[in-house]
Amino acid sequence: MEAFPKHFLWGGATAANQVEGAYQEGHRGLSNIDVIPSGEQRFLVASGKLHYNQIKEGKYPSHYAVDAYHHYKEDIALFAQMGFKVYRFSIGWSRIYPHGDEEKPNEEGLLFYENIINECLKYNIEPLVTINHFDVPLHLVETYGSWRNRQCIDFYLNLCETLFNRFKGKVKYWITFNEINMILHMPFMAAGLMFDASENRDEICYLATHHELVASAKAVILAHKIDPSMKLGCMLAAGNAYPYSCNPEDVMESIKMDRENYFFADVQCRGFYPTYALKQLERNQITIPFEENDENVLKEGVVDFVSFSYYNSLVATSNTELKSTAKGNIFASVENPYLKSSEWGWQIDPLGLRITCNILYDRYQKPLFIVENGLGAIDQFNDGDIQDDYRIDYLRSHLKALKDAINIDGVDVLGYTTWGCIDLISASTGEMKKRYGFIYVDADESGNGTLNRYKKKSFSWYQEVIKSNGQNLD
């Protein structure tokens, strides 16, 4: 029996702002991410608690990243050597619309992505395009207030229309927004939101969320109109919340914690706001300004597949004395005593991937796509001999769990793209030493280094995994 489905899409994933660099080349405009510094103030700016104008002498890792802008051919050739069937990358909005509100796109930006797509197709690699991955033109932030402003829907759709028309016939799989639920945790990084001291943050976040949900649904409708064979996905920072104990109070807390995240996918997959969300908004006196056609748009624009990132599970409890000491992909939670943690304190839970797959598939009955999973770790360079066995162990254990989700539970999974298949800038910390790749890049977050690429031990391991279609994970 095949371990994974015959046409399983194996590959890797990156995001524009974390790999491209060249932030002022090709008539690219500035974006929100370009003003988020590395270092201690990163989280404050990313979460909208500190205005980026107040940063003195900040270092901005997105300006350099790993210079994929000039190295993409070399990088894609290496992905092809590993046998990638799919490469997930994102569009830098301000490369195509430097200000975001222009009528005509910047041809140089479009050409850059066309070249990436053509390069993928040359090697029979399916491009999986994230339309928006933590990226808003700074002009839209400063002039319109970003996604709090309904006009952003039109600007985003303009971008979508340009992309769908230009790349129809070449790109089948699209993701409308990366980790759409991140807006509640990192509102500036995820959606360019800033707040006045007097404002109700939650209210602004849910207002902006509504605009993104409508934009996402409209993008689905538009894509299907332009090319009915296109497949559109939502994308969620996933990882289930376990109850800390079998105390029903803890179980209820875990349901609530999950709903905070599933709310987004519930709307994108089912086409309407779930009742628990309506009740919660009402309790918090938040009114979402639904416009006349929004309900129909949400209903019509449901996604074709459910993609998600999975790094860790969470733990929920009603016991307020238990503190959230475990870190994870942004969300902190109470520590799970049964699990080990990464160097950055993210708890490692391979079975949690199988559990998350089951819960998402039971909930939506749509094909899943795991578009991020991986281990951020410090690698020893040793003259280019990088023995990253810990990364192999991490990926192997997660792939075994995924295999069980497919073979034992019957979950429909389209593919698996590891996060940061080539080393890149960390989104949460802005560091370069937090590496995820099969390919090491000699670079730091300040633009120093030769930018040379080196294969790590995990490179040939993943090559074998793909070659055997997941049969050989050892």
The binding site for ligand BG6 (CB under 6 A) comprises: 15, 18, 178-179, 237, 309, 329, 372, 376, 419, 426-429, 434
- Active-site entry in 20, 119, 212, 372: 372
Signed CA dihedral, 220, 224, 227, 232: sign only = positive
The answer to whether 32 touches 40, Cβ cutoff 8 Å, is no
**Residue 440 in tokens:** 């090491």
Ranked by CB distance to ligand BG6, the top (closest) residue is 428
CB of residue 90 to ligand BG6, shortest distance in Å: 9
The answer to whether 444 touches 383, Cβ cutoff 8 Å, is no
- For the CA atoms of 242, 245, 249, 251, the dihedral, rounded to the nearest 10 degrees, stands at 30
DSSP code, position 98: S
Strand-strand pairing, 231-238 and 305-310: parallel
Distance CA 73, CA 155 (A): 30
CB of residue 246 to ligand BG6, shortest distance in Å: 31
**Residue 20 in tokens:** 């491209």
CB of residue 426 to ligand BG6, shortest distance in Å: 4
Q: Which is nearer to ligand BG6, 158 or 329 (CB)?
A: 329
Amino acid at 296: N
CB of residue 407 to ligand BG6, shortest distance in Å: 27
**Residue 142 in tokens:** 């400063």
Classify burial at 148, counting beta carbons within 10 Å of its beta carbon; exposed 0-12, middle 13-18, buried 19 or more: buried
Q: Which is nearer to ligand BG6, 233 or 376 (CB)?
A: 376
Range list of H helices, 336-383: 350-364
| Residue at token pair 């996402």 | 216
Round the CA-based radius of gyration of the chain to a whole number and report it. 21
Active site residue 300: no
Q: Which is nearer to ligand BG6, 336 or 429 (CB)?
A: 429
Q: Which positions ≥6 away from 116 have C-beta within 8 Å?
A: 72, 76, 89, 127
Q: Which is nearer to ligand BG6, 62 or 336 (CB)?
A: 62
Q: Which positions ≥6 away from 167 have C-beta within 8 Å?
A: 113, 114, 117, 127, 129
Active site residue 20: no
* % helix, strand, coil for the chain, step of 5: 45, 15, 40
Q: What angle do CA 15, 136, 292 make, to 5 degrees?
A: 120
CB of residue 284 to ligand BG6, shortest distance in Å: 26
Looking at the annotation, which residues are catalytic? 179, 372
